[in-house]
């Protein structure tokens, strides 16, 4: 089975006084290359907190504000799904990642951190499912705010 890769980068943005800090995680996700079966075109389940480029920063205590998906030149299968599971195995997106990964469209889901905050308390695992396109690329951007 040819499983792909996920790489990460972090951008931390200082904001003016009395405003929460901003953190942007950019995850470049590449599906496995052509293989004998559709299952060979998988994106690997990946612990975000341990990725090189992100692991030096403690994400605990931040709130998830939004998620953006941007297809690459070879985009994944339309309506692929994302879940991001927390240390308890619960989907922090609460199902909002269903059908968010598309072949050509950029998609965004915004959460209201004042009323439905998802506070990061440990490792987050990115899962992208239902793709059948070999070597597909999508970028997943998580925008987090400080408490």
CATH code, 92? 2.60.120
Residues contacting 37, CB < 8 A, separation 6+: none
Kindly provide the b/e burial profile for residues 28-51, where b requires at least 16 CB atoms within 10 angstroms of the residue's own CB.
ebbbbeeeeeeebbbbeebebbeb
pLDDT score, position 66: 92
Look up the domain containing 42 and give its range: 5-145
List per-block mean pLDDT (blocks of 10 residues) for the chain, which spans 147 residues.
85 81 94 68 91 93 93 94 95 92 93 73 95 92 88
Contact 138, 33 (CB under 8 A): no
Total domains in the fold of the chain:
1
Q: pTM to 2 decimals?
A: 0.90
pLDDT score, position 104: 93
pLDDT score, position 21: 86
Structural tokens at position 61? 């205590």
């Amino acid at each position: 089975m040819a499983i792909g890769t996920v790489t990460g980068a972090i951008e931390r943005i200082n904001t003016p006084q009395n405003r929460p800090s901003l953190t942007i995680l950019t995850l470049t996700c590449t599906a496995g290359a052509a293989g004998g079966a559709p299952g060979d075109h998988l994106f690997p389940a990946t612990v975000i907190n341990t990725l090189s480029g992100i692991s030096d920063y403690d994400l605990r205590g931040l709130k998830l504000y939004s998620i953006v998906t941007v297809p690459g030149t070879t985009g994944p299968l339309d309506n692929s799904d994302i879940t991001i599971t927390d240390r308890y195995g619960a989907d922090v997106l609460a199902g909002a990642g269903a059908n968010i990964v598309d072949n050509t469209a950029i998609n965004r889901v915004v959460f209201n951190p004042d009323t439905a905050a998802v506070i990061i308390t440990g490792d987050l695992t990115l899962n992208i499912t239902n793709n059948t396109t070999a070597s597909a690329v999508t970028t997943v951007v998580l925008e987090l705010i400080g408490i």
